[in-house]
Each structure stands twice: as C-alpha cells, then as structure tokens.
Amino acid sequence: MSKSKKNKGFVSKKQTSTFDFSSLLTYCSQDEILKFKEGLKGKAVSSLILNPLIYTAKRLEEAFPDLKKDKDDPLLYRFVKEEGRMGKTLEHFAGGFYILDPSSGVISSYLTNLLPKDFVSLDLCAAPGGKTIAMDLRRPDGLYLANDIAFDRALEINKNAQRLALGNILTLSIDPVKLSLPSLFDLVILDAPCSGSGMIRKEPKMASDWSMDKVTRLLPIQENLLEKAYECTKKNGIIAYSTCSLSLEEDEDQVKAFIKRHPDIQVIPVEPREGMVLGKDGLGYHMIPGIYDGEGIYFVLLRKTQGDAYKFTSSKDARIYNDYLMSLDYKDNSYLVTRFYQDFANLPFIAPGMKVYDKSEHPKCEYDHSYCKVCDDIEKVELDRQSALQYVQGNEVKVDSSIADELVILTYQNMRLGLGKNIKGKVKNYLPKGLRANLY
C-alpha cells in the first residue's frame, strides 16, 4: 500500500487526544470496539511478577491480600495502580517482585515451555527490562543479554537485575542495528519502539503524542530491527516480536512483510487467553484495554527454521565462584555471572552480571551493593520490619550484640537488603545513597 493511501483519513500533523483510536481496531468486532471505548473510561491495570528465587507466593499473598492472582499465570498478580504504592514497599525494594503491565508479562509465559534448557536470549530493546526480567523469573536457567540504545534507560535494566538478584543478565547499550553477532541466540526479544497507542489509558500523554506521521516514521526502524533479530537468531530459535501499538502497520503488516522477506519464518501457534484478539490473517494477538484485563500490547512468536546452528565458545577468562556463578574480570572490575562466552568478549557491556567491587560507593566498603545480592561469603543478619525500614532509609540499626564485629548482609524475611558493618550491636549503614528510600 502506498504511503499516501495508508494516511488516508488521518491528519498528518500531531493528533489531539480527540482522535478516535477505535478506528485503528480494524481487526476487532463491533462488540469489542464498544468494550474498548468503555474500557478507556476506566483505570489502567498494573501487575507484578513474583520473584520465586527470593520470595514465596504464600508470603506475598499474606502481605498483600488485595492482589488479584491471574488464573492462567502462577506468577502474575494484578492490582489497581495507586500512586505506585506497590513500588514503594519493602518487599519490592528487597526484590520480591517486578512491577509491569499485565499484557507485557504474558509474552514470557508463552515462551516458558518453548525454550531448551540453558538457552541464551538477546533482548534488542530491553529497557527498563520488563520482557527479559519476566522471562528470567520464569526461566532462571537462561542467560540473558539485555540491550537498549538509550544508555540511561539501559542503566535501569541493571538496577532492576541487581534488585532482583538476577546474576544471569548481561546489560549493554548499543544501537541494535550496529550489534555484530553471529546467529547465536535461542531467543531474540524485539519489543520495538512504536507509536504507543496501546498505552493511551495508562499514559494519556501517548494519545496527544500520537500521529500517523509517528507511525510512518517508526516503520523502517522496526523493519531494520526485525532484520537484526533474524540475523542473531539461530536455526530453530524464536523471535518474540511485540509493540504497544494498536496499528496494523506496526503489527501484522510488519510481520507479514518480514515473513515475505524470510519464507523460513513460521508463526508459533499459541492458545489465546480470555480477552485476546486474534491478529489479522492469524498473525499474533492483540491485548487491548477494555477487552483484555491489561493495557495494549501486540505480540507474535516466530520460529526461524533455517540457517546456522552456531555453538558458543566458552570463555577461558571466567572462573568458578560457586555452584551457580562464575567470576569474570571486565574493564577494571570483577563481575559474577552464571555463564560467559568468548563470543561476547567484544561487546560494550555496562555490567556483565553482578558487580563485585566498587571503591566509589562507600569509602569504608570495598564491595558494590550488587555483590550482597549474590555472594555466599558474608554473614547474614535478619532484621524485623521496623529495623528493615530504618535500614533502607539509610539509618544505623541495632542488632544482637553477640554478632561478630564484621561486614554483614542485612536481610528481611531472608531477602537481602544491603551491606553494613556491625560494631558492638550497631550496624553502620553501607547502602548507597541513591538507593535509600522511605518505604511502606
């Protein structure tokens, strides 16, 4: 379809929020369109994914009885977004869960049983980490490269991985089309930059920012990213393509053109859940506010059936740390990571795993905060809730005076909060200033 024909019916300048977004839902029935219009009047739904590595469903449900457990997904709980309160709890700080839009959490739940043991994943547009982290919480055996073109946003991925104690995420920031890697990956996640029309209920600004020009401008970027995803995926590997756009052009049309360019790409069928709308020509699914209990996301899972089945080269530089982690020297620091391959040696990582040392954080503590989340050679001291809240504010806390005068890891319900130095029952606070907070 020519560009001018595609734009028919749209104003080419920025639209105001009066634009009727239901006109984009050409793949929906009249009934679904009515539900969408009604749904836009309601509140955005948020959710969390439990981190089973450090928290339990029983404790979560006891601490937050208002959470609504998803009927298909054992790790997903919905809640009404009230001024980010769940994000300001001690349990969140301690890494007990990750907050994301429920529609975003769904994609990984479909991928969980489709990947081989110890698979390796690449997320091309990962920040702040939602898709990769949701996947990691379900499949901790995977190794995850999480990239985002925006450096500041990529730092957020690392911050989240650190909070959740995920020692198998290697973070980097590079324009994905400049990534030079062979067809290595079992999974390539491409959550592409898009016009954002699926998020208009959650972020009303997306409605006033939306225009057909924006859609058109993003199409070649999405196309190039799909080509990069193809290049990096190994034979029989999966490409998980998603957008938060309701527009056919960015979703099914983009996928259709991709399959035309690469006839070996096959759509992986998935069993739809309540409220999911089948995409045009059976290409993927839309989750749409008012129809699905979440915000707007389109996704499709694609299998690359031809090409190389490349094998990784193990790294001689990584040394055994414990049963789970390896120690790796990178730039002027050491990192703990579950696996590392020589094939990644030239990538510009921000953090290839959990950082061990940091002389700048606290003059009296040689370790980076990250280290306390995964190390196994520092004594742990359990705090009650009140003391834990005091600790995360940056205060000194009192502990049992029989504890040796040494560096300790403070925990709450066995979840690691951070480091401190015990001196005669008073713990000096080593939590980095940027992490200190008033929590509930």
Given the rule CB under 6 A, which residues bind ligand SAM? 104, 125-131, 148-150, 153, 176, 191, 193, 221, 244
Name the minimum Å distance from CB 312 to ligand SAM: 24
Asked if residues 51 and 97 have their Cβ atoms less than 8 Å apart, the reply is: yes
Q: How far is the CB of 72 from ligand SAM (least distance, A)?
A: 20
Nearer to ligand SAM, 37 or 153 (CB): 153
Q: Is the dihedral of CA 368, 372, 373, 375 positive or negative?
A: positive
Task: Closer to ligand SAM by CB, 229 or 375: give it.
Answer: 229
107: Cα within 13 Å, side-chain hemisphere: 34
Of 167 and 176, nearer to ligand SAM (C-beta) is: 176
| Smallest distance from ligand SAM to CB 192, Å | 7
In whole angstroms, how close is the CB of 111 to ligand SAM at the nearest point? 13
Half-sphere exposure of 421 (CA within 13 A, CB side): 9
Residue 198 or 420: the one with the smaller Cβ distance to ligand SAM is: 198
Q: How far is the CB of 221 from ligand SAM (least distance, A)?
A: 5
Give the nearer residue to ligand SAM in terms of CB position, either 158 or 413.
158
Q: How far apart are CA 290 and CA 275, in angstroms?
A: 9
Q: Rounded to whole angstroms, how far apart are CA atoms 253 and 247?
A: 9
Nearer to ligand SAM, 49 or 365 (CB): 49
Residue 297: which residues within 8 A CB-CB, separation 6 or more? 101, 103, 104, 106, 107, 198, 242, 243, 244, 286, 287
Which helix (H) or strand (E) segment holds residue 5: the answer is helix 3-6
* Closer CB to ligand SAM, 127 or 270, in the complex: 127
3-state class of 270 per DSSP?
A: coil
Of residues 297 and 397, the one with the C-beta less far from ligand SAM: 297
Q: Closest separation between CB of residue 388 and ligand SAM, Å?
A: 28
Provide the 10 A C-beta neighbour count for residue 326.
Answer: 19
Round to whole Å and give the CA distance between 144 and 184.
12
Tokens representing 189 are: 């996640």
Q: How far is the CB of 94 from ligand SAM (least distance, A)?
A: 21
Q: Which is nearer to ligand SAM, 160 or 422 (CB)?
A: 160
CB 334 within 8 A of CB 358: no
| 361 φ/ψ sector (left φ>0, alpha ψ -120 to 50, else beta) | alpha
Nearer to ligand SAM, 206 or 419 (CB): 206
Q: Closest approach of Cβ 372 to ligand SAM, in Å?
A: 25
Q: In the complex, what is the shortest distance from the CB of residue 391 to ligand SAM, in angstroms, rounded to a whole number?
A: 29
Chain residue whose CB lies nearest ligand SAM: 130
Do 405 and 86 form a contact (C-beta atoms < 8 A)?
A: no
- Which DSSP helix (H) or strand (E) runs through 238? strand 233-243
- Contact of 134 with 108, CB cutoff 8 Å: yes
CB of residue 125 to ligand SAM, shortest distance in Å: 3
List Cβ neighbours of 292 (8 Å cut-off, separation of 6 or more).
103, 273, 274, 275, 276, 277, 286
Measured from the CB atom, is 156 or 382 closer to ligand SAM? 156
CB of 170 to ligand SAM, least distance (A): 16
CA 398 to mean position of chain CA atoms: 36
Non-local (6+) Cβ contacts of 90 within 8 A are 385, 388, 389, 392, 412, 439, 440
For 374, counting Cβ atoms within 10 Å of its Cβ (0-12 exposed, 13-18 middle, 19+ buried), the class is: buried
